[in-house]
A and B are shown apart, each in its own frame.
Chain A
Amino acid sequence: MANVAHTATSAPVVRRRSSFEKLMSNTSLWRGMLAIAVFLLLWEIGSRFDEWFGKEWTLPFIGLIPAPTAVFAAWLEILPKAGYWMSWLQSFKRVLSGFLVAMLIGIPFGLALAVNKYFRDLFFPPFEILRPIPPLAWVPASLIFWPTNEMSIAFVTFLGAFFTIVINVLGGARTIDVRYLRAAQSMGASQWDLFSKIILPGTLPSIFTGAAVGMGITWEVVLAAEMISGGGTQGGGGLGFFIWNSYMGGSLEQVVVGMISIGIAGYLSSSAIRWLGDRFMPWKRLF
């Protein structure tokens, strides 16, 4: 509405650029694309060096990796296959379920630790002892505890995100400027108002930081857990198992395909969190 009013009143008519034009003139985007192109080119040259100059010219490390074109060909081959997409689906399901449960429990738990001294005195010490244990160290124990592989993976995934989220929420809520609380109290805010209108929005940035970091850890953990336990009859599959299976089958191209797939999946996940963050925190979108 503001734009309409503006163009109606201002004398020199400035044509608004279409989003396509904006995209085309985005130098950062072009630079980024160029960088990726150069990276792929160097990779291609590096890995095909021995084909062009003979076996004795095999470059260390990169010479053993399949070339991007070969990876791309392998990718095209498996793209129409349902199994590949099932791996995506299964990994995403695990990441999402573990992550969501971690958020659902972690945010209230972190907030409770922050606002209630008794709760903090009781629960923070055991939390701090469990926190340094890497999620993967829980794998054998959870395989024993939980009746199915699927539940073990979900549990380990949950742990990966949970501790990070709680620590971030706790830190965020504890560092809210005391002046905000005082100002709100002076204006007559009740305890509930303080919590819902000051502490909660004040903690949101930390919640999203925790979510972004937690999401990253969740992918790591899911992949590792799938490699360790995913080979069984139940709870198999997933991108981690896809990579492991390709490795066992000797298809190095498919291993790389799996790796890049995870990169894309992680990127999609963090984009989703960024998008949600923008929705929930309009005041952060300013600059």
Chain B
Amino acid sequence: MNQMTTNQKLHAAATSPQGTGTGRPLGGALSIRNVSKIYDPEGVNVCAVNDCSMEIVAGEVCMIVGPSGCGKTTLLNAIAGFHSITHGEILLDNQLLCGPGKPKASQGADRMVVFQNGALFPWRTLAENVAYGPIVQKKMTKAEAHEKAYHMLAEAGLGDFGDKYPGEVSSGMSRRAEIVRALINEPKVLLLDEPYRAMDALTKSIMHESLLETYDRTKVTIFFITHDLEEAIFLGDKVHIVTTRPCSLKKTVDVTIPRPRTYESLSSEAFRTLMEEVNEAVHEEAVKAFQAGERELA
């Protein structure tokens, strides 16, 4: 709780109404209640999400695991405001994002998305990318935003790379920079859609440590979609296993391994037990998905 940097404290005091200094400055409790999404292109009813409910406590790392193509991303898109929902409601800190009468949430900087294959603007340097949000929101002048961007990049171990274009740095670095770009907007929720997919195991482990370090610093609520069970348990407070399409909550596993976690946690007995528990549930869904003819499995 007291791991906020001075920078964070300053901003908590300056910009966030919840910033009392006693706990997390930002909210971020997500309630997903009976959400359904039916895609209806040309009358072909495809039910992507069916009666899915989840409660995500503020400041929690919540991992969503399920077979490919099951509708996890649909859920994330609904939270982010990229897509509408058909039934149910989604609330952020008890404020309605979308629900009856408002099928599509408005997009806002309180929910920042980190995309599957990275979406840093290739025509802006890392620092310019990070500074983008505060500048377009007119929260800071250009100079202030750039100063803060360099500062935050340095915190993430990217201090020397602020002037580089995304094409000049490794995928790991650009993914970290993208998380920094999200965090500078002080989101309540960070939405990550398989951010470390297609990364080699070594890079992934560094990404995980970096994300955990960032989380310990900011305590932002994290909604993290993944296929990687080890990743899910290593990073998460809770692992929500969802069913194959249509997506609904199958099982929630509480990860009781204490923080801060290091890579030694991976070999602990507790980790192995959890792994088995999650694996069993996921495997069931994977088999169902396979039988249903899904092209790819969890």
Contact = CB atoms under 8 A, between A and B. Distances in A.
Q: Are A and B subunits of one complex?
A: yes
Interface stretch (B33-41, B108-116, B231-239): B108-116
A197 B142 CA distance: 14
Given A187-B112, A188-B109, A182 B82 contact: yes
Interface in A169-211: 177, 179-180, 182-190, 193, 197-198, 201-202, 204
Interface in B84-136: 107-109, 111-113, 115, 117, 119, 121-124, 132-133, 136
B149 to A, nearest CB: 13
Interface size class of A (residues with CB under 8 A): 20 to 34
B121 A187 contact: no
Main secondary structure of the interface of A (DSSP, over half): helix
A283 B123 contact: yes
A193 B123 contact: no
A182 to B, nearest CB: 6
A183 B115 contact: yes
A187 B115 CA distance: 14
B168 A198 contact: no
Nearest to A198: B121
Contact of A180 (B81, B111, B119): B119
A111 to B, nearest CB: 16
A13 interface: no
B185 A204 contact: no
A14 B111 CA distance: 50
A187 B119 contact: no
A202 B121 CA distance: 9
B165 interface: yes
A180 B80 contact: no
B167 A187 contact: no
A282 interface: yes
Contacts of A187: 109, 112, 132-133, 136-137, 181, 185
A24 interface: no
A260 interface: no
Interface in A57-100: none
A185 B107 contact: yes
A286 B169 CA distance: 11
- Best-surrounded residue of B107, B113, B124, B167 (most CB of chain A within 10 A): B107
A191 to B, nearest CB: 11
A188 B80 contact: no
B107 A186 contact: yes
A129 B124 CA distance: 38
A19 to B, nearest CB: 24
A212 B185 CA distance: 40
A267 to B, nearest CB: 28
- Best-surrounded residue of B80, B111, B117, B123 (most CB of chain A within 10 A): B123
Interface in A33-56: none
Given A180-B119, A182-B80, A283 B112 contact: no
A86 B87 CA distance: 74
B115 A286 contact: no
Contact of A184 (B111, B123, B136, B168): B136
B75 to A, nearest CB: 15
B166 to A, nearest CB: 8
Nearest to B132: A187
A183 B166 CA distance: 15
A281 interface: yes
A179 B137 CA distance: 19
Nearest to B82: A182
B119 A177 contact: yes
Contacts of B121: 180, 183-184, 197-198, 201
Contact of A186 (B80, B117, B122, B167): B80
- Best-surrounded residue of A184, A186, A202 (most CB of chain B within 10 A): A186
Contacts of B124: 201, 283
Given A282-B165, A286-B165, A189 B136 contact: yes
A180 B167 CA distance: 15
8 contacts: A182-B107, A183-B119, A184-B132, A187-B132, A188-B133, A204-B123, A283-B123, A283-B167
Interface of A: 177, 179-180, 182-190, 193, 197-198, 201-202, 204, 281-283, 286-287
